[in-house]
Chains A and B, each alone.
With several copies, the nearest count.
Chain A
Amino acid sequence: MTTSALGAQREVRDHVVIRFAGDSGDGMQLTGSQFTLETALAGNDLATFPDYPAEIRAPAGTTFGVSAFQIHFGSADIQTAGDEVDVLVAMNPAALRVNLRDLRVGGTVVVDTGSFTERNLAKAGYPSNPLEDGSLVPYQLIKLDISKLTLDAVEPFGLSQKEALRCRNMWALGLMLWMYDRDRQATVDWLNRKFAKRPELAQANIAALNAGHAFGETAEMSPIAAYQVRPARVEPGEYRTVTGTEALAWGLLAGARAAGLEKLVFGSYPITPASPLLHTLAGLKAYGVVTFQAEDEIAAIGAALGASYAGALGVTSSSGPGIALKTEALGLAVATELPLVVVNSQRAGPSTGMPTKTEQSDLYQALFGRNADSPLVVLAAATPGDCFEVAMEAVRLATKYMTPVILLTDGYLANAAEPWRIPELASLPSFPVRFRTDPSGFHPFVRDPKTLARPWAVPGTPGLEHRIGGIERDYQTGHISYDPDNHQRMTEVRAAKIAGIAQDIPLQDLALGAPGGKLVVVGWGSTYGPIVQAVRQAREEGLDVSHIHLRYLSPLPRNLGALLRSFERVLVPEMNYGQLVTVLRAAYLVPAQKLSKVQGQPFKVREVLEGIRAALAES
């Protein structure tokens, strides 16, 4: 127990999961983001999970219009947005209805009683009022008329009723900031910036924020519990929060910079959940980024490839259905051996599927989804911050080996945020590209003997005029060739070039554990968080289990086979119906087993843990 500034008693917690839930129009994403920022500033480690409705703005008060933002923060390493919610803030009945199932028994639920009108209860499909029918008995219920309290707080600013009620989220935020002993200054600054043109709105929102905070401080009649979550012990340095999208955008730019390229040309067509990358990069014009919103995904990759041909870093991005459309052009990138980065923010499928829900079911597509033998590099990012490094690595491999690189993220990574230590620029890798300029002995497909990469000969360079295309090319001259042996040779060299990259990437390490033992859990992509937590917990329980997390999916790390074979069992949790597991079985003939979750939602730690226990029980 510690005491707050005013002397209230604060219980110490290691980590807490809060979920803000309300109508799409209630500003829950902003509320969550601000809480995240203040929490990051307080020095906690954290992970977030925004959960948008599928509809843009569904009718107010309906269950399918509910928007939620979950944050998990703590004083130790935080890897997931949390299995269960400790505190649920429900701004209306629909939000309560949709989210209650994730609240742990004994957890706290804060509701705005002002919104629990008959109409809203009916819209949410409640036959009776849950605040009164005893159904919330298993939880700590904090009933507050936030609507009224907000209206009171903002009264001086002369807003319309509608505008005034829009400040409810700041009141709730104020209360939660008090509850966890967070500062409010960053939020105040943000409100002043956001409403610079309408200062009365800034003031009203700040008043609501302060009122919520003050309410906690002074609610002596029915005191609200206050907590403290101590700062996490993390590496020293300067920090910020990043979403996967931001880290990815900056990583791509950092890659272009490290390669010494003047321009990053990004061709894309909007699609959920990939669009935020387009939006972020569109704001980086001053940094040499040119964005092109194409007429479709095919034009998007076409333009990116054209840009790479002309000496820029060409990047394109989409989600599964859009990537499907790019696969023909991707084959051209393989055939012409041009650098290209293709980002896939995966979402639930097949077909349109559940566009706003996360999944990692496009691994097959990335590895095998083109006509003919067309090998390329496939990488996957594990966390929002990891997107930065993986993006730089994608650029390095694309430019060094003259190859398309597919970088897999997903809807979760795209939107989730975490604290991120801003790298020292000097510590970043540098891999300057050397365009070919010397005409003597130049042929467009003569390879570097070590990397097997062909030269990057950019239009505008005198003396290097040449023609390339998708028809098979002669190994020596690069001219069109239908020669049977040449085709065999070219097929082999294309494969060898990608396979050879295994020599230029790190040996696979273990995220937890050591080689040898009963069980290894192998993951890739955004399942990193739940897997690492589950394996840690399992190890704490004394189970013999390790964790391997793959960044490189093609080529696979050269020691991976030996590593896997050192374990008795291999368990592969994936947010798909079993894809990496197929790849590992084929590559190493290890009897890897799948652990599949296809629900449009990240694994819970518990689910992986159960998988581990079951796998060990079998053996």
Chain B
Amino acid sequence: MTAASPPVQPLASKDYASDQEVRWCPGCGDYAILKAVLKTLADLSVPRERTVFVSGIGCSSRFPYYVSTYGFHTIHGRAPAIATGIKLANPELDVWVITGDGDGLSIGGNHLLHVLRRNVNLQIILFNNEIYGLTKGQYSPTSRQGTRSPSTPTGSVDYPVSPGAFALGAGARFIARSIDTLQAHLVSVLKRAHQHRGASFVEVFQNCVVFNDAVFAEFTEKAVAPEAQLQVEHGEPLLFGKDKTKGLRLNPATLQLEVVTVGQAGVTERDILIHDERNRTLALLLLGLKPPAFPMALGVIYCDPAPSYEEAVYAQVPPGASAARADLEKLLHQGQTWTVAG
């Protein structure tokens, strides 16, 4: 049969949206992230049939229902493990893991550690709203000390974990950050994540209007954004501020970064650190910056590719290996056998 295949139409964002009604609270940052992901998929023209979204449980983890690719809404915290199995069964599939600060860093911390360490080739988007949205607002491992929530009426006392620092410690080889409302930036970060071979980890600051509204306002509000955000680009100086005159310099004595102003106190652009996304030390320093003293570092903070887990797994598999065509005869007869005559 040689039926002509229909002319290929480029797919648009809307073609990647499923027919299911989106059920987040009005105003939730998740809508914006969904929009950015759909745009990313469309811009990259990914084949829907080879794309799988895998999530755990949480408001954020409802995500797969809204994308017209394959989707698996699994159980709380376990998406990385399930995604690893999917990749082992079929490394050709393009897998996105959607998780939250609770799903990925509370119950799912161990799987996140190991999927990053193993460097399974997939994209992980962690929606960080510093709260448990779905279960109605308890504090999460990323909540700041003193967070009042139903489970911490007098304020939380735990030190929060930094998703980026955790990922770095886990051995992640791609760490990026963006903000729900920063559409263009988010799309570009997601494209980089998709392009990266191996596990790419993207933390998105996501506003939960209901239980943790404006918790990131300090650096996401339009008015303060230029001064409070540092959008890093590989090979470019670490400059920020409205006129890009502020920059980061290394203090070699303290091994810390400091904010300086180009043109002041003898500082020139040559004093400003150049972003090197392969530098792990720089990544640690950038990930540790906290407003208001420092800008929040956004963009691809660390990217240092290495062979992926499933590549290495399949490199050990002899070509043509197949269970369906397994030579059982050979297997069952290997070693010592004996024959009893009839």
Residues of chain A touching chain B, judged by Cβ–Cβ distance below 8 Å, are 37, 40-41, 43, 55-60, 62, 64, 186, 231, 234-241, 250, 253-254, 256-257, 259-265, 267, 269-272, 275, 278-279, 282-300, 302-314, 321, 328-329, 331-332, 336, 351-352, 421-423, 425, 459-471, 479-480
A-B contact pairs, 11 of them (CB 8 A): A56-B25, A58-B25, A62-B21, A287-B327, A290-B88, A290-B317, A299-B78, A302-B82, A351-B75, A465-B68, A469-B73
Of A270, A306, A471, the residue contacting B86 (CB under 8 A) is A306
Of A58, A264, A468, the residue contacting B71 (CB under 8 A) is A468
Inter-chain CA distance A250–B322, complex, in Å, is 14
Q: Which 3 A-B pairs have the closest CB atoms?
A: A306-B85, A469-B73, A302-B81
A58 to B331, Cβ gap below 8 A?
no
Closest chain A residue, CB of each to CB of B78: A302
B318 to A468, Cβ gap below 8 A?
no
Question: Quick one: which of B55-95 are within 8 Å of A by CB?
Answer: 57, 59, 64-65, 67-78, 80-90, 92-93
B92 to A288, Cβ gap below 8 A?
no
Shortest B208–chain A CB gap in Å is 9
A295 to B107, Cβ gap below 8 A?
yes
Shortest A382–chain B CB gap in Å is 20
Query: Contacting chain A: which of B130-138, B237-245, B261-269?
Result: B130-138
Question: Quick one: which of B323-339 are within 8 Å of A by CB?
Answer: 323-329, 331-333, 335-339
Give every chain A residue within 8 A of B329 (Cβ-Cβ): 425
Inter-chain CA distance A41–B339, complex, in Å, is 9
List 4 additional A-B contacts (Cβ < 8 Å) besides A56-B134, A270-B135: A43-B340, A59-B23, A238-B338, A290-B89
Tell me the number of A-to-B contacts counted with CB atoms below 8 Å. 293
Is B139 close to A, CB under 8 A? yes
Give every chain A residue within 8 A of B317 (Cβ-Cβ): 285-286, 290
Give every chain A residue within 8 A of B331 (Cβ-Cβ): 250, 253, 284, 287
Give every chain A residue within 8 A of B235 (Cβ-Cβ): none
0/1 string, B152-180, CB within 8 A of A gives 1: 11100000000000000000000000000
Inter-chain CA distance A238–B338, complex, in Å, is 6
Is B274 close to A, CB under 8 A? no
Is B288 close to A, CB under 8 A? no
Inter-chain CA distance A264–B69, complex, in Å, is 25
0/1 string, B5-20, CB within 8 A of A gives 1: 0000000000000101
Inter-chain CA distance A423–B331, complex, in Å, is 12
B151 to A253, Cβ gap below 8 A?
no
B328 to A253, Cβ gap below 8 A?
yes
Give every chain A residue within 8 A of B136 (Cβ-Cβ): 56, 275
Inter-chain CA distance A502–B313, complex, in Å, is 40
Inter-chain CA distance A578–B26, complex, in Å, is 41
A238 to B339, Cβ gap below 8 A?
yes
Residues of chain B touching chain A, judged by Cβ–Cβ distance below 8 Å, are 18, 20-21, 23-26, 47-50, 52, 54, 57, 59, 64-65, 67-78, 80-90, 92-93, 106-107, 109-111, 113-114, 132-136, 138-139, 141, 150-154, 210, 313, 316-318, 321-329, 331-333, 335-342
Given known A275-B151, A282-B152, contact A296–B77 (CB-CB < 8 A)? yes
Closest chain A residue, CB of each to CB of B309: A292
Given known A256-B323, A306-B86, contact A479–B20 (CB-CB < 8 A)? yes
B73 to A295, Cβ gap below 8 A?
no
B322 to A288, Cβ gap below 8 A?
yes
Of B49, B59, B111, B339, the residue contacting A302 (CB under 8 A) is B111
A267 to B85, Cβ gap below 8 A?
yes
B151 to A291, Cβ gap below 8 A?
yes
Inter-chain CA distance A353–B326, complex, in Å, is 39
Of A231, A236, A279, A311, the residue contacting B150 (CB under 8 A) is A279
B328 to A58, Cβ gap below 8 A?
no
Given known A263-B89, A292-B85, A302-B82, contact A236–B151 (CB-CB < 8 A)? no
Of A291, A297, A470, the residue contacting B74 (CB under 8 A) is A470
Closest chain B residue, CB of each to CB of A313: B323
Inter-chain CA distance A465–B93, complex, in Å, is 13
Inter-chain CA distance A532–B300, complex, in Å, is 64
Inter-chain CA distance A256–B86, complex, in Å, is 17
B138 to A270, Cβ gap below 8 A?
yes
Inter-chain CA distance A284–B330, complex, in Å, is 12
Inter-chain CA distance A251–B18, complex, in Å, is 41
Given known A57-B210, A271-B135, contact A295–B82 (CB-CB < 8 A)? no
Could you tell me the dominant secondary structure of chain A's interface residues? mixed
Give every chain B residue within 8 A of A40 (Cβ-Cβ): 336, 338
Closest chain B residue, CB of each to CB of A420: B332
A288 to B210, Cβ gap below 8 A?
no
Of B135, B139, B325, B327, the residue contacting A272 (CB under 8 A) is B135
Give every chain B residue within 8 A of A270 (Cβ-Cβ): 132, 135, 138, 151
Inter-chain CA distance A237–B153, complex, in Å, is 32
Give every chain B residue within 8 A of A282 (Cβ-Cβ): 150-153
Shortest B238–chain A CB gap in Å is 34
Shortest B219–chain A CB gap in Å is 25
A307 to B333, Cβ gap below 8 A?
no
Of A59, A259, A291, the residue contacting B26 (CB under 8 A) is A59
A307 to B18, Cβ gap below 8 A?
no
Inter-chain CA distance A279–B137, complex, in Å, is 11
Closest chain A residue, CB of each to CB of B71: A467
Inter-chain CA distance A264–B328, complex, in Å, is 14
Shortest A292–chain B CB gap in Å is 6
Give every chain B residue within 8 A of A57 (Cβ-Cβ): 25-26, 210
A236 to B321, Cβ gap below 8 A?
no
Shortest A527–chain B CB gap in Å is 26
Inter-chain CA distance A257–B325, complex, in Å, is 7
Give every chain A residue within 8 A of B342 (Cβ-Cβ): 236-237
Give every chain B residue within 8 A of A303 (Cβ-Cβ): 81-82, 84-85, 88
Residue from A64, A272, A286, A307 with most neighbouring chain B CB atoms (10 Å): A286
Inter-chain CA distance A299–B118, complex, in Å, is 13
A285 to B154, Cβ gap below 8 A?
yes
Inter-chain CA distance A40–B54, complex, in Å, is 48
Closest chain B residue, CB of each to CB of A328: B75
Given known A238-B338, A283-B153, contact A60–B73 (CB-CB < 8 A)? no
Give every chain A residue within 8 A of B141 (Cβ-Cβ): 295
A262 to B54, Cβ gap below 8 A?
no
Give every chain A residue within 8 A of B134 (Cβ-Cβ): 56, 272
Shortest B295–chain A CB gap in Å is 30
Inter-chain CA distance A461–B90, complex, in Å, is 12
B324 to A262, Cβ gap below 8 A?
yes
Give every chain B residue within 8 A of A299 (Cβ-Cβ): 78, 80-81, 84, 110-111, 114
A459 to B333, Cβ gap below 8 A?
no
Closest chain B residue, CB of each to CB of A293: B151
Give every chain A residue within 8 A of B59 (Cβ-Cβ): 56
Give every chain B residue within 8 A of A239 (Cβ-Cβ): 337-340
B54 to A306, Cβ gap below 8 A?
yes
A286 to B321, Cβ gap below 8 A?
yes
B336 to A464, Cβ gap below 8 A?
no
A459 to B90, Cβ gap below 8 A?
yes
Shortest B140–chain A CB gap in Å is 9
Give every chain A residue within 8 A of B318 (Cβ-Cβ): 285-286
Residue from B26, B88, B133, B154 with most neighbouring chain A CB atoms (10 Å): B88
Shortest B23–chain A CB gap in Å is 5
Inter-chain CA distance A267–B152, complex, in Å, is 13
Closest chain A residue, CB of each to CB of B75: A332
Shortest B332–chain A CB gap in Å is 5
Give every chain B residue within 8 A of A287 (Cβ-Cβ): 321-323, 326-327, 331
Inter-chain CA distance A425–B329, complex, in Å, is 7
Given known A40-B338, A261-B323, A467-B18, contact A292–B210 (CB-CB < 8 A)? no
Give every chain B residue within 8 A of A267 (Cβ-Cβ): 85
Of B72, B322, B340, the residue contacting A262 (CB under 8 A) is B322
B23 to A292, Cβ gap below 8 A?
no
Inter-chain CA distance A453–B33, complex, in Å, is 36
Give every chain A residue within 8 A of B341 (Cβ-Cβ): 236
Give every chain B residue within 8 A of A43 (Cβ-Cβ): 338, 340
Inter-chain CA distance A461–B52, complex, in Å, is 11
B81 to A294, Cβ gap below 8 A?
yes
